[in-house]
């Protein structure tokens, strides 16, 4: 059983790595960012509350996010293991997650941090675009759809740039997340769960390194 957290700043490659991990290990992929975007698109109460924070690049309050995660972790498809992508982002969230995994009896097995330099993150986020239909992510330079104008995952033809990937917001998002990144890594290092991979490498190499860690257990 693998119950994994992927740590990494926005643009580190958590989404791309998650897709590859899901293909091989069939884990439930739980991305709080994706869940918030879906909630905003559907204008649910959580979506409406989250929007004001997300548009500025700030974090949604911990209680709101933790509740969303607890509900999701309780669903049936999580029983064969999960990847948490984008949660926790603060040590307070990590403590809340400890309570949640204890309540649900789903202990963490691995925490993998994908490390990438800040300049690389800015370049990647500004070149990132998404499928309007399924949310698959692409990059203008390094990860174009196989057929131009058609989403590899769902065949959709409409793409957009995330509001919070625009330069005005990216700077704040990185600052907000960077502050918490080192303490979070330390939190899991102390528990003996943390491994780190070099996210500057090509996506296949990043996945190979992650795979080596996951297949050891």
Q: Which residues are catalytic?
A: 14, 89, 128, 162, 173
Residues 6+ apart with CB under 8 A from 24: 211
Provide the minimum distance between the beta carbon of 173 and ligand AMP in the complex, in angstroms, as a whole number: 5
In the bound state with ligand AMP, the residue whose beta carbon lies nearer, of 89 and 210, is 89
Residue with tokens 């972790």: 73
Tell me which stretch binds ligand AMP (CB under 6 A): 20-28, 57-65, 132-140, 206-214. 57-65
Q: Does 13 bind ligand AMP (CB under 6 A)?
A: no
For residues 180 and 178, what is the distance between their CA atoms, to the nearest angstrom? 5
* 168 neighbors 126 (Cβ within 8 angstroms): no
Rank residues 173 and 208 by Cβ distance to ligand AMP and give the closer one. Answer: 173
Query: CB within 8 A of 100, min separation 6: which ones?
Result: 66, 69, 70, 73
**Contact between 8 and ligand AMP (CB under 6 A)?**
no
Question: Closest residue to ligand AMP, Cβ-based?
Answer: 33
Among 4, 28, 36, 145, contact with ligand AMP (rule: CB under 6 A): 36
Which of 94, 133, 104 lies closest to 5 in space, CA to CA? 94
Among residues 59 and 114, whose Cβ is nearest to ligand AMP?
Answer: 59
Nearest to 37, CA basis, from 122, 136, 124? 136
The token pair at 156 is 């959709």
Feature table: binding site = 11-16, 32, 37, 58-60, 86-89, 93, 128, 131, 134, 137-138, 151, 154, 162, 173, 201
Q: Is 16 in the site for ligand AMP (CB under 6 A)?
A: no
Position 54 contacts ligand AMP (CB under 6 A): yes
Site string for ligand AMP, 65-94 (x = CB under 6 A): x--------------------xxxx---x-
Residue that is written with structure tokens 């190499």 in the block:
205
Beta strand pairing call for 159-160 and 128-131: antiparallel
To which H or E segment does residue 34 belong?
A: helix 32-41
Which residues contribute to the site for ligand AMP (CB under 6 A)?
10, 32-33, 36, 53-54, 57-60, 65, 86-89, 93, 164, 173
């Amino acid at each position: 059983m693998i119950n994994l957290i992927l740590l990494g700043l926005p643009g580190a490659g958590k989404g791309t790595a998650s897709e590859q991990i899901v293909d091989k290990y069939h884990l439930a992929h739980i991305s709080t960012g994706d869940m918030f975007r879906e909630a905003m698109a559907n204008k649910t109460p959580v979506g409406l509350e989250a929007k004001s924070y997300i548009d500025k690049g700030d974090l949604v309050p911990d209680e709101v996010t933790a509740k969303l995660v607890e509900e999701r972790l309780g669903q049936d498809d999580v029983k064969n293991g999960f990847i948490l992508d984008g949660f926790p982002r603060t040590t307070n969230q990590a403590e809340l997650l400890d309570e949640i995994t204890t309540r649900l009896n789903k202990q963490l097995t691995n925490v993998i941090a994908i490390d990438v330099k800040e300049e690389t993150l800015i370049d990647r986020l500004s070149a990132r675009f998404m499928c309007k239909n399924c949310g698959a992510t692409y990059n203008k330079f390094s990860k174009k759809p196989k057929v131009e104008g058609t989403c590899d995952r769902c065949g959709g033809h409409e793409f957009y740039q995330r509001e919070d990937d625009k330069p005005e917001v990216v700077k704040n998002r990185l600052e907000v997340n960077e502050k918490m990144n080192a303490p979070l890594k330390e939190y899991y290092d102390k528990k003996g769960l943390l491994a780190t991979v070099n996210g500057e490498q090509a996506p296949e190499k990043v996945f190979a390194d992650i795979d080596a860690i996951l297949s050891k257990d």
